[in-house]
Amino acid sequence: MRAQVTDELICPTYDQDAWVRSQRYRDAPWNELVSLLALLNLQLARVMEASPPEIRTLPRARHNLDRVAFHAIPANEPATLEYFMGDYVVHLEHHLAQIFEAIRAHDGR
């Protein structure tokens, strides 16, 4: 949302492991986590779809996608919100593949 109203792509960083621990995902029922992630990603998809093309494709010289993107863009190269959106989807697909692999391993397939 911030990137739609600014001329930069600076995203806050965080300690992923600390956030996972403090939010107690390991204690949550699997079906609740699936529902939570499905609804959050559905909303993100709506935001992405509603983002005007001129905002999505605007080159941003100032960004930190060299540190926060799944597939980093060097800090000295411009980045677009469209790239970051696509990178998020690729990152999500990566995690889904990990989950499905863990399920297969658990089921002995």
Q: pLDDT tens digit string along 71-89?
A: 999 999 999 999 999 999 9
Are 63 and 72 within 8 A, CB to CB? Answer: no
The enclosing H or E element of 97 equals: helix 81-107
Confidence grade of residue 22 (pLDDT, cut at 50, 70, 90): very high
DSSP helix/strand/coil, 79: strand
Are 75 and 66 within 8 A, CB to CB? Answer: yes
Q: What pLDDT is recorded for position 42? A: 97
**Mean pLDDT along residues 56-72:** 97
Average pLDDT, the chain: 93
Whats the size of the chain, residue-wise? Answer: 109
Q: What pLDDT is recorded for position 102? A: 87
- Which domain does 54 fall in, by range? 2-107
Residue range 34-53, pLDDT digits in tens = 999 999 999 999 999 999 99
pTM over 0.75: yes
- How many structural domains does the chain have? 1
Helices (H), 4-80: 16-23, 30-50, 53-56, 65-68
